[in-house]
Copies of this chain bind each other. A is one copy, B any other.
């Protein structure tokens, strides 16, 4: 087994650096979902971070890793969602310039929010991949620091701090369920949690319409999807990359698929029964727990509610159906 790109020490180091900038989010024991599943259910509410998603942890840790001369070059990232928001917010805190490349069809509110944090938004291309290529191009021209959404050891280590907090709050936790887009979150969390408690079970969740990591993990090699389609816009990656894929192969015990309908039901259940707002990607872990994962009685299961940046139109459409 080759040396891991991210160590437990890296996660500890990240925690020390980012804790003044991010929220120590609550690990919320849900009486209602415990009763409903027979498990002891904990919701890790990353929906509550500044900018409404866990992505801020990785973005801040990445910035903290840069030297003053690197910081002067500014940051560049491609994203239409939470990663772009997080880079913009982190750049604002550190007084650094940031350019975020978004596809031309990016959601208006998210673009405005990214601009609201003072980042420059470049609209380019018809999808994320074209925007990504443009961001790489800008990086080469400007020598700005590229902040990858997941395939970066500092980003992975930053997300891993969630694992530290979970096991601090529930030391005898049995299982962690995490949503998987590119795999940065689950990779970091797995490194932290399996070091602290080697027999903890790490379960990933993907959307049925965007199963790139699921298929890659099952196949034992990186599988790229030609296209993906899910309501969970945070889970739309078309393939994992080397850092996250290798970590997931080593540490992830299972990956489950959920349907968009199940995700919608989980969003509604969180809202109705726990008054917690989660975006579709953020509710996917609860969807897996409610509909796909069969916990043992009293099994202590944490579902990472990774973000809250839900589209108002989607929320309204869900409520109309009830």
By a beta-carbon cutoff of 8 Å, the part of chain A in contact with chain B is 23-24, 26, 28-29, 31-32, 35, 45, 47-48, 50, 52, 89, 92, 109, 113, 116-117, 271-272, 274-277, 279, 308-310, 312, 315-316, 319-320, 322
A319 and chain B: residue at smallest CB distance: B316
A23: chain B residues within 8 A (beta carbon): 26, 28
Please, how many angstroms separate the alpha-carbon atoms of A279 and B315 in the complex? 16
Please, how many angstroms separate the alpha-carbon atoms of A305 and B24 in the complex? 19
Q: Please tell me which one of the listed residues B28, B29, B308, B315 contacts residue A319 in the complex, with CB atoms under 8 A apart.
A: B315
- How close is A34's CB to chain B, nearest CB, in angstroms? 10
A316: chain B residues within 8 A (beta carbon): 316, 319-320, 322
- How close is A81's CB to chain B, nearest CB, in angstroms? 12
Pairs across A and B, CB under 8 Å, 29 listed: A24-B24, A28-B50, A31-B89, A31-B116, A32-B116, A35-B116, A45-B48, A47-B275, A48-B48, A52-B274, A52-B275, A109-B272, A271-B312, A271-B315, A272-B312, A275-B277, A275-B279, A275-B308, A275-B310, A276-B308, A277-B277, A312-B319, A312-B322, A316-B316, A316-B319, A316-B320, A316-B322, A319-B319, A320-B320
Oligomer: number of copies: 2
Please, how many angstroms separate the alpha-carbon atoms of A50 and B26 in the complex? 10
- How close is A235's CB to chain B, nearest CB, in angstroms? 18
Please, how many angstroms separate the alpha-carbon atoms of A309 and B273 in the complex? 9
A50: chain B residues within 8 A (beta carbon): 28-29
Please, how many angstroms separate the alpha-carbon atoms of A277 and B319 in the complex? 14
A31: chain B residues within 8 A (beta carbon): 89, 92, 116-117
Please, how many angstroms separate the alpha-carbon atoms of A52 and B29 in the complex? 13
A28: chain B residues within 8 A (beta carbon): 23, 50
A35: chain B residues within 8 A (beta carbon): 116
Please, how many angstroms separate the alpha-carbon atoms of A109 and B271 in the complex? 12
Please, how many angstroms separate the alpha-carbon atoms of A31 and B310 in the complex? 18
Task: Contact check, A271 vs B275: say whether CB atoms are below 8 A apart.
Answer: no
A29 and chain B: residue at smallest CB distance: B50
A274: chain B residues within 8 A (beta carbon): 52
A322: chain B residues within 8 A (beta carbon): 312, 316
- How close is A157's CB to chain B, nearest CB, in angstroms? 23
Please, how many angstroms separate the alpha-carbon atoms of A276 and B254 in the complex? 32
Task: Contact check, A48 vs B26: say whether CB atoms are below 8 A apart.
Answer: yes
